[in-house]
Amino acid sequence: MSSPAFRSAADIRHAVATGATSATAILEETLARVDRLEPKLAAFLSLDRAAARRQAHAVDARVAAGDRSGALLGVPVALKDNLCLTGQPVTCGSKILEGYVAPYDAHVVERLAQAGAVFVGKTNLDEFAMGSSCENSAYQKTRNPWNLDCVPGGSSGGSAAVVAAGIVPLSLGSDTGGSIRQPAALCGVVGFKPTYGRVSRYGLVAFASSLDQIGPFSACVDDAAAAFAAMAGHDPRDSTTVDAPVPAAEDCRRSDLSGIRVGVHREYVDEIPDAQVRALVQRGLDWMKDAGATLVRIDDIDLLGRYALPTYYLVATSEASSNLARFDGMRYGKRAAAEGLAEAYSKTRGDRFGAEVSRRILLGTFALSSGYYDAYYMKALQVRRLYRQAFAKAFERCDVIAGGTSPIPAFPIGQKAADPLTMYACDVLTIPASLAGLPTISLPCGFTESRLPVGFQILGPPLEDARVLGVAHVFETKSGARGQLAPLAEVSA
C-alpha cells in the first residue's frame, strides 16, 4: 500500500513544469522533512541549504522564462558522499578527507543538474564505500527507516534511507559489489545498478575501478528509469564508458511479461538461508509467471558457487589498495603532525583510515605483492572471466535472471560489526552481477513477520538496461509496492 506521503519525481516534475508549485516550495518542504527526520535517521553528512535554494530559484527562473525541459525539473536529489559536488564536502565517510571540498562536479551531477534536479545534501556511507551496513562510517551510524534499531544496509545506506523515509524521491549511490542493491533491499526501495560503463565514473571517488558503477535509488521504477536516462551516456573523461544509444525513460516500460524467459537458479532462490526471505522471493517468481513470463531452471550453470566471494574480495581489495594510495596526507588527505616523511605517511593513514578500510588495503597490498600477484589477483581475474562466460551461457536460455537480493533482512546495529566474514556474506547474491558488469535492479517483494522489507533482484545481459527496467516495471505493478515508504515517512507528510 502506498504511503500518502509519497510523491514521485515524475509528479514533482509535472507540478513544477505546469506552475502548480515551484521548485523553491518543493525544496522547502524537503528541508522541513530533513529537520523532522534527520535526528532519527542520521542519514546526511552535509547539507548546504543556501546552495540548494539557489538551485531551486534557478529552476523557477528557468520555468518562468518558458523553459520547461528537463526530466527532473525541481526534483530534490540526495548524493552519496563519494560523489563530487562543486564547493561541497566530499568525505567518503572517512576522517582522512575531513575538510576536503570538491573543486568540480561529477559527471552525473552535471547531467542531473541539466535535467533540473536540486541537490539537497550528501548522504552517509561506509567509509570509502567499503561495507554492507553503513556502520563503517567515521562519522555516524545511519538507521533503517523501517526499524530504527536496524542497519539500512551498505555501503550506500544513507541514500537508501532518505528515499525510504520519504525525505527525497530520488538519490544516487555507487555499487561495487552490491552497495546500491543490498541497501535498497533492506530499506524497501528500488535500487538500480546499470551495466558497467553505462554511467560515467568521473567525479566518483574510486574504490575498485573495474567494478564501481553509479545508480539511483527511488520509490518507483519509473523514477529510476528517468534518472538513468538522464545520467547515462558516453563521457570522454571516463574511458570505460560505453558509446551506445541510451534508452529513453518511456522505453523502459512493459505492460506484461509475455515472451520473457526468466532464469531461476537454486542459489538465488532455493538455497537462501532465511525461510521468510526464501518464501517471499518464490512469491515474486510466481508474480512474474502470472504476468506471462516463462520460468526456466538454469541450476546446471555455476553462477555463484564457492568462488564468487573470494574472487570479488581479491579484485576489489587489490584495486582499493591501488586507488587509496593517493590518500597519504601529501597528495590528498588531512596530514597528521609528524617528524619526517615516513612517520607522516604512517600516522596519517594509520590514524585516519578506519579498521575495515585498513583491512582491505592490507589484503589488496598482499595480493598485489611480488610473488603473490599471479597467484591471487591474476587468478581472480581469470575466475572473473569464467563468471562472465557463465552468465553469457545462461542468457542464451533466458532473457533475465531473477531471485533474492539479500539472503537476510535488515539486522540489528552492531550484530555483525565484529565479524567481517559474516558481514561479507551479506553480499553473496549481489556480487556475481558486479563481477560480470550486468545491469541489475532490486525491488521490494514483501515483508518478514517483523515488518522488515525483503528485496527481489532482476539481472539482465550487458547493455540490456531497458529490458531489466521494463521487467521491473511489470513486477512492481504485480507487487503493488510502487511508492511504498516506511511508516516514518508519514511523520513528515
Q: Is residue 121 one of the residues assigned to a domain?
A: yes
- Average pLDDT estimate for 243-263: 96
Q: Which residues pair with 378 in a beta bridge?
A: none
Write down the pLDDT at residue 493.
55
pTM over 0.85: yes
* Alpha-helix runs per DSSP H in 238-354: 275-290, 308-323, 341-352
For 170, the domain range is 9-253+440-446+460-491
Judged by DSSP in three states, 489 sits in helix
Give a yes or no: residue 302 inside a domain: no
Contact (CB, 8 A) for 210 and 237 = no
Quote the pLDDT of residue 3.
Answer: 46
Residue with cell 550506500: 156
**467, 432, 484, 63: which is closest to 228 by C-alpha?**
467
Decide if 289 contacts 296 (C-beta within 8 A).
no
Kindly indicate the confidence band of residue 2, based on its pLDDT and cuts at 50, 70 and 90.
very low
**Predicted confidence (pLDDT) at residue 413 exceeds the cutoff of 90:** yes
Torsional sign, CA 280, 281, 284, 285: negative
Mean pLDDT of 393-403: 98
Q: Is residue 470 part of a domain?
A: yes
Phi, psi of 201 (to 5 degrees): -95, 5
Backbone angles phi, psi at 404, to 5 degrees: -75, 160
Q: What percent of the chain shows pLDDT beyond 90?
A: 91
Please say whether the beta carbons of 397 and 453 come within 8 A. no
Residue 491 has a pLDDT of 63
CA dist 65 to 2, 62, 68, 75, Å? 35, 5, 9, 18
User: What pLDDT score does 412 carry?
Assistant: 98
* pLDDT confidence bin for 315, thresholds 50/70/90: very high
Q: What is the mean pLDDT of the chain?
A: 95
Cα separation, 216 vs 115, whole angstroms:
15
- Note whether residue 275 is domain-resident: no
Q: For residue 464, tell me if it sits in a domain.
A: yes
In a domain, 343, yes or no: no
As a whole number of angstroms, the distance between CA 125 and CA 89 comes to 14
Active site residues: 80, 155, 179
Quickly state the pLDDT bin for 306 (edges 50, 70, 90): confident
pLDDT at 5: 65
Q: What residue type is 97 in one-letter code?
A: L
pLDDT exceeds cutoff 50 at 465:
yes
Judge whether 294 lies within some domain: no
157 in Cβ contact with 142 (< 8 Å): yes
Residue 346 lies in a domain: no
Q: What is the distance between the alpha carbons of residues 57 and 319, in angstroms, rounded to a whole number?
A: 42
Taken in order 460, 222, 129, 243, is the CA torsion positive or negative?
Answer: positive
Which CATH number characterizes residue 223's domain?
Answer: 3.90.1300.10
Q: pLDDT tens digit string along 324-365?
A: 999 988 888 888 887 888 888 888 898 899 999 999 999 999
**Tally of domains in the chain:** 1
- Tell me what pLDDT residue 345 has: 80
For the chain, what is the radius of gyration of the CA atoms?
A: 21
446-463 pLDDT, tens digit each: 999 999 999 999 999 999
> How confident is the model over 243-260, as a mean pLDDT?
96
Q: Residue 79 is which amino acid? A: L
Mean pLDDT over residues 119-127, rounded?
Answer: 98
Least confident range from 48-52, 194-198, 299-303: namely 299-303
- How confident is the model over 180-185, as a mean pLDDT? 98
